[in-house]
């Protein structure tokens, strides 16, 4: 079963408008943040965010609260923990996620991620991802990624996902990072196959700001709306999201997010915001 996890949605028009507003606001804020930026890079970053979703086709609105902690170790490895509690399609559930980025041989990294959840089939009861990445070129400006994943959405493991992800990241001039990738999914029951390509572009740097635009269009195997499922047919869906992360001081700032998701059965617009602190 392909679960429709809560996403942040935004139409193309607001995406362009938010980009202009973010750029204008950054002129006033980034200079002050850069002037007072601490000499030592932050080791620990803690985020707290709230999100609200408006759905079409008569579905109830949804809400989510999320918190995360990212720890940069002195050997270059990264540990991350995240907790999510949300309400959608009349149900309540959540996820607890832990991951660890293990760097070795200067150009390689491996990232295992374990997820456990509670609630109905909108949330995975258990999921495991394993990603391998390699840097290429001078300074490691190009990164290739290969990942596999498996998830179960009920205790009997009748509803499951499994598949692969391919990704490519390019670190470009002007503090730009371009990403592209695709996931291939096999959902049970019925051995339903789906795929989801995406592209993303991020501009900015630590201590100033990050502005990220992500677009995805592909297929999903199941439509999850609480405990109900649609017929076992693959359907298309699209996502457009924008995230703005802005430092307001040496060790803190704000995050604003928006996302627009559509499929043949309903549309969802989600807006969210929060704060982050660093030590």
Q: What is the pLDDT of residues 95-104, one digit of tens each?
A: 999 999 999 9
**How many other C-beta atoms can be found within 10 angstroms of the C-beta atom of residue 150?**
16
Strands 235-249 and 252-262, by their bridges, are antiparallel
> What is the per-residue burial (b if ≥16 Cβ within 10 Å, else e) of 66-99?
bebebbbeeeeeeebebebbbbbbebebbbebeb
Residue 30 pLDDT exceeds 60: no
Q: What is the mean pLDDT of residues 198-221?
A: 97
> How far from each other are the two terminal CA atoms of the chain, in whole angstroms?
40
Q: Is 98 helix (H, G, I), strand (E, B) or coil?
A: strand
pLDDT score at 138:
96
Q: Is 17 helix (H, G, I), strand (E, B) or coil?
A: helix
pLDDT band at residue 156 using 50, 70 and 90 as cut-offs: confident
Residue 126 pLDDT exceeds 90: yes
pLDDT band at residue 225 using 50, 70 and 90 as cut-offs: confident
Helical (H) or strand (E) element with 160: strand 160-172
């Amino acid at each position: 079963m392909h679960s429709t996890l809560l996403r942040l949605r935004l139409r193309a028009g607001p995406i362009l408008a938010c980009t202009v507003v973010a750029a204008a606001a950054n002129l006033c804020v980034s200079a002050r943040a850069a002037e007072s930026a601490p000499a030592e890079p932050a080791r620990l970053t803690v985020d707290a965010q709230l999100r609200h979703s408006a759905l079409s086709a008569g579905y109830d609105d949804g809400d989510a609260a999320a918190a995360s902690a990212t720890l940069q170790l002195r050997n270059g490895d990264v540990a991350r923990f995240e907790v999510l509690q949300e309400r959608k399609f009349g149900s309540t559930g959540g996820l607890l996620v832990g991951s660890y980025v293990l760097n070795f041989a200067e150009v390689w990294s491996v990232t295992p991620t374990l997820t456990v959840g509670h609630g109905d089939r909108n949330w995975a009861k258990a999921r495991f991802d394993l990603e391998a990445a390699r840097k290429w070129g001078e300074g490691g400006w190009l990164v290739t990624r290969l990942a596999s994943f498996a998830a179960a959405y009920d205790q009997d493991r009748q509803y499951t996902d499994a598949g692969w992800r391919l990704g490519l990241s390019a670190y470009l001039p002007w503090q730009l990072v371009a990403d592209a990738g695709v996931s291939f999914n096999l959902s049970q029951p019925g051995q339903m196959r789906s795929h989801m390509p995406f592209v993303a572009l991020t501009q900015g740097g630590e201590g100033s700001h990050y502005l990220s635009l992500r677009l995805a269009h592909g297929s999903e195997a199941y439509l999850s709306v609480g405990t109900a499922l649609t017929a076992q047919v693959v359907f298309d869906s699209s996502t457009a999201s924008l995230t703005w992360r802005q430092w307001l001081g040496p060790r803190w700032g704000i995050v604003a997010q928006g996302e627009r998701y559509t499929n043949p059965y309903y549309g969802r617009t989600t807006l969210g915001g929060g704060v982050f602190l660093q030590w």
